[in-house]
Structure 1
């Protein structure tokens, strides 16, 4: 009898659920460690996230608002797809890992609003995080405009955050902000307002108990603006925000607009231990694949000499640039970057001579350009060469004829949809003429290096140039450099232009020489524009010069050994048969790090670290073993090459 009653109750509950309709759906990662719950509450759509069966993100709102329809309320679920396993494999020369595999469970919720207009929400959950995007499936050639994105990330009160404030549009040098060049706020309480109404940039890092979460976006094409997190996050509830109305390309649109059907970019939350998040490749896993007409082999990664970083504007003359070409050749570096005003101080005809000379030395030239446009009052030239397609193609054809291999484009000042289209048009047109691209004063790449393999790097960081400008920024370098491997540089190449081993004019160095030597290993960039000069290299030991002459152009694998944002980093990267292990100490006290090198037993390992004198080095042959330890000086560092 008891069995029959139980069966009847179960049947009644099942029928009731069918009649009422299921309102909560789950998507788990392939390894079951991460689970997303998606549900309707008061006719609005929410999601929450568990890791190892414990909540790590509270109920967070989903939805978009278009001018013609609201998709954040009065929603109903039409149907929900079954769980599908998504697989992808791709190679990426410009990243932390050459061969990449993506495995995730996907589920799509099909919804409609009160006026029967449709929207899909697509979730993909992998072992290292959660991604979702919106899709308007209807066909409509009439332009639709999104006025607000309601997407939120609701953190628990005990969560801490590492976040970079967004600069206010039209501020800074020649009013060229925003350019993602602010110092991070470190280990702040969630809910802390951003310093200005501009909000916070991606990636944003959070820590709750033993779980780390990193928020960013990827898959951004010309059909959407770049977004950020809004200034205020009451109760730790962060909402996606749109750019300032002034962040436009030549007075065009800022907020998203498109015909239908229409995809949004992916909203990405990497989740796991700090090691799991730091080693994640979600930012490129979810980016659009490489454009079929762009051959990655034509745009090899490499290292570059660069006079401007230490010698500034007066160095952009023929004789100095010839010397820096010789410097690159002597160091076995692939590139030499010639910066602003080259067109007036050297000229196109003499630049062709330099390009021919560089080619004879097996060095490729990169040339600087002003992004120009009505948002940009910067006087540096060349300018007004790239803003129209006709002018751009004419200039790129001339560069190709001269033998130039790449361009550095500076001062963009905006994240509006029209500005995003400008970036992508630059990448596409440059590729047609065999030109690589590096952007400064720029937005976050958001996985573009996978889609456009000729995009080798972007600045989007307060880099070495600021350290040469002010003592304050030099003093901040240790904590700054130990924060950005866990934030800005996790997914996308970063042109920090690292590594000054000797002296910076008019600046008292805070970091040691070995700290600086470690930076090109710890920071990833398709081109490493190295800040040291020929005179500086002439003063370092021969073994340091040899290390830099044989430094790899790209990486096959990356592992985080240990670290904590703003305090220290120990990372290892693989190139060919060698492993490069590098550590930096962001604190004023000496720090000993221990790690296991047993798997390298029997191999040769060479340690380069700080010497006893200021700005000096020592080299030691070491034996890899299970209990390997290295002491880093205050604001010091090291590199180990295992082969």
Structure 2
């Protein structure tokens, strides 16, 4: 009897233990998430091919409705399979087939209040979020702190961009996701400012694989988040915006109407970098926020400000850049800050009409303005005010402007997310596309907002003009972006320079260290549906003809993206397809020639391709090449140089 009683108690204990955990795997069963509750604290862990990618990492949050991070009990679960297909015209693939297994775990806190945590697991991606019901008469909640964490093995190294201090930088406009990355850093190395790190974050799990961590689905209903500094055990947690952001205005803690959901946090996993570069999870798990009656067209543009700077924002110089766009067959010209003062509204109507006569459309710059920075570049105090904003957009529509570039946001609070969404929503009413600059990371916005066409949120091309240091580091940084920043969203970099020097007369200012082919390769490597290139009118006569011809032909939207080779900060080779044409582009950040043997599955034996490369003296060249062995195509990338193969 005593033995039977012991066995019964043992069985009950095991049942209780099993009731506190659940598992969900991807469709191919290689990626697995385990969810458990240990002494009242919920955790999840991630393995891939049996190897640990994330150790037990905490879940939950603290709110004004209750504490959902401890004292939790497991009360149930449900599962389902997801099979969805969608099309997109602004991301790395035009058609996506999303297959995932979903696990929803229901937990209950000490006050018997439930929450759901939903995990979606595809073959290489994990996405999870909190789903919060209404609690009787309680119809709203403030999330005061998240316990959500990412606990990496001790042998992990990091590729991270620090979150800056708030209210610093140009006219107190930071944070703006423009700090410098540190590659292969120790797991617990503290961030530059002690403020944590921006999304996305890339992690190398020793020799076991790679992990990319980010978030998606952030809109007006939550704040944008970032990663804290790691603790001594290598655990990062979700960090909310800093109180000082946006000049101290707006709350740090996001508020939700109930029932409500938080954004998705995403974990992309692979034993190599291919799943990281090719992931579509930022768009797989979000839904459009609104539909549009407008058909937006994407393409290439000229942009005087990037090289000729403020002094170029006048009628005559803008005519020259419109003529340049026309000569290159580009669709757009971007006219930057102070156009309202230096050109004026009446003359701008004339200028837009002139652009249309040359078959060129116009984007105009605006400051985000408001009470959160000291910006004086105009137009100011328009995009932050719904009454004034709609009046401005009505005028833009009347004169035929196709889009706006809105700059200087400097914060991640929920209030700032509301401004992003309000600008996009109002702009769509008037048929305007929107580029954001000096801004936060886009988080699934290509699928959520039909008129969204790009964000900077990176140490972009303007820095090459401002300081020689960034030219010296250009190749290194360019070899990071396809693995980190550009994996999760459009990147409005504004590069592809053909000037050797960055001033109006191409004979002064910063010195470009990279080759012409390197610059052309970034037109493929950096993905954004509107590409405002940094070419200038003099390039029509002083740049190599092959470079001009390439820029005339290269597309800005892609149907497929394939990672071929590379290592963050050292080199990268990608292939992108537009319709039936492949562009294979590579760049080398090293100081020595790099010889590679590429496997090109998109090619067949006997295919004729155009091969762009650098000579040993850094001159660009183009020749015809016949593919003899698609699985072993030998190429050489010169120091700070590149290659392009067009099939």
TM-score range, shorter chain: over 0.9
Structure 1 residues 177-576: aligned runs within 5 Å: 177-208=174-205, 209-248=207-246, 251-272=249-270, 273-289=272-288, 291-292=290-291, 294-295=292-293, 298-505=295-502, 506-576=509-579
**Alignment check: 8 A CA contact 1:247 1:419 kept:** no
Partner in structure 2 of residue 33 of structure 1: 30
* RMSD, matched Cα: 1.8
1:128 equivalenced with 2:116 (yes/no): no
**Alignment check: 8 A CA contact 1:249 1:418 kept:** no
1:502–1:610 Cα change, 3 Å: farther
Question: For each residue in 1:36-66, what CA deviation from the matched residue of structure 2 results, as whole angstroms up to 9, or x when unmatched?
Answer: 1100111110011111112121110001000
- The 1-side partners of 2:496 and 2:335 are apart by 18
- The 1-side partners of 2:210 and 2:520 are apart by 28
Residue 20 of structure 1, CA deviation: 5.8
Partner in structure 2 of residue 110 of structure 1: 106
> Please, which moves more after superposition, 124-133 or 242-251?
242-251
Question: For each residue in 1:119-171, what CA deviation from the matched residue of structure 2 results, as whole angstroms up to 9, or x when unmatched?
Answer: 11111111011111001112555442111111000001111110000111100
Residue 256 of structure 1, CA deviation: 0.5
- The 2-side partners of 1:603 and 1:405 are apart by 40
Partner in structure 1 of residue 608 of structure 2: 604
**Alignment check: 8 A CA contact 2:513 2:640 kept:** yes
Question: For each residue in 1:233-262, what CA deviation from the matched residue of structure 2 results, as whole angstroms up to 9, or x when unmatched?
Answer: 321100110111122488232321122111
**Alignment check: 8 A CA contact 2:616 2:638 kept:** no
**Structure 1 gap ranges (5+):** 1-6
- The 2-side partners of 1:107 and 1:243 are apart by 29
Partner in structure 1 of residue 39 of structure 2: 42
Partner in structure 2 of residue 629 of structure 1: 634
The 3-state SS of whatever aligns with 2:245 is coil
Residue 521 of structure 1, CA deviation: 0.2
Question: For each residue in 1:306-362, what CA deviation from the matched residue of structure 2 results, as whole angstroms up to 9, or x when unmatched?
Answer: 000000000000011011111111111111000000001011111111111111222
**Alignment check: 8 A CA contact 2:36 2:43 kept:** yes
**Alignment check: 8 A CA contact 2:575 2:583 kept:** yes
- The 2-side partners of 1:69 and 1:26 are apart by 27
Partner in structure 1 of residue 505 of structure 2: none
Partner in structure 2 of residue 585 of structure 1: 588
- The 2-side partners of 1:444 and 1:623 are apart by 41
Residue 470 of structure 1, CA deviation: 0.4
Question: For each residue in 1:601-637, what CA deviation from the matched residue of structure 2 results, as whole angstroms up to 9, or x when unmatched?
Answer: 33320011113445x3111100123221111111110
Residue 230 of structure 1, CA deviation: 0.9
- The 2-side partners of 1:388 and 1:138 are apart by 33
1:108–1:200 Cα change, 3 Å: same
Question: For each residue in 1:262-292, what CA deviation from the matched residue of structure 2 results, as whole angstroms up to 9, or x when unmatched?
Answer: 1000010011120111111111112223622
The 3-state SS of whatever aligns with 1:382 is coil
- The 2-side partners of 1:249 and 1:94 are apart by 33
- The 2-side partners of 1:176 and 1:600 are apart by 51
- The 2-side partners of 1:11 and 1:126 are apart by 39
Residue 504 of structure 1, CA deviation: 2.4
1:20–1:41 Cα change, 3 Å: closer
- The 1-side partners of 2:542 and 2:496 are apart by 14
The 3-state SS of whatever aligns with 2:236 is strand
1:88 equivalenced with 2:84 (yes/no): yes
- The 1-side partners of 2:566 and 2:617 are apart by 27
- The 2-side partners of 1:488 and 1:16 are apart by 47
The 3-state SS of whatever aligns with 2:644 is strand
The 3-state SS of whatever aligns with 2:300 is strand
Residue 10 of structure 1, CA deviation: 9.7
**Alignment check: 8 A CA contact 1:195 1:231 kept:** no
- The 2-side partners of 1:393 and 1:577 are apart by 41
Structure 1 residues 4-23: aligned runs within 5 Å: 16-18=13-15, 22-23=19-20
Residue 31 of structure 1, CA deviation: 0.4
1:57–1:232 Cα change, 3 Å: closer
**Alignment check: 8 A CA contact 1:141 1:259 kept:** no
Question: For each residue in 1:482-515, what CA deviation from the matched residue of structure 2 results, as whole angstroms up to 9, or x when unmatched?
Answer: 0111000002000111111231231122211111
Residue 155 of structure 2, aligned match among 153, 158, 171: 158
- The 2-side partners of 1:427 and 1:276 are apart by 31
- The 1-side partners of 2:333 and 2:7 are apart by 73
**Alignment check: 8 A CA contact 2:528 2:556 kept:** no
TM-score for the superposition, normalised by structure 1: 0.95
- The 1-side partners of 2:170 and 2:17 are apart by 59
Partner in structure 2 of residue 3 of structure 1: none
**Structure 2 gap ranges (5+):** 503-508
**Alignment check: 8 A CA contact 2:171 2:373 kept:** yes
1:640 equivalenced with 2:637 (yes/no): no
Question: For each residue in 1:537-585, what CA deviation from the matched residue of structure 2 results, as whole angstroms up to 9, or x when unmatched?
Answer: 4222323211111111310000011000000000010011210010000
- The 2-side partners of 1:57 and 1:250 are apart by 35
Displacement over 4 Å in runs of 4+: 7-16, 139-142
Residue 388 of structure 1, CA deviation: 1.6
1:19–1:444 Cα change, 3 Å: closer
- The 2-side partners of 1:469 and 1:346 are apart by 25
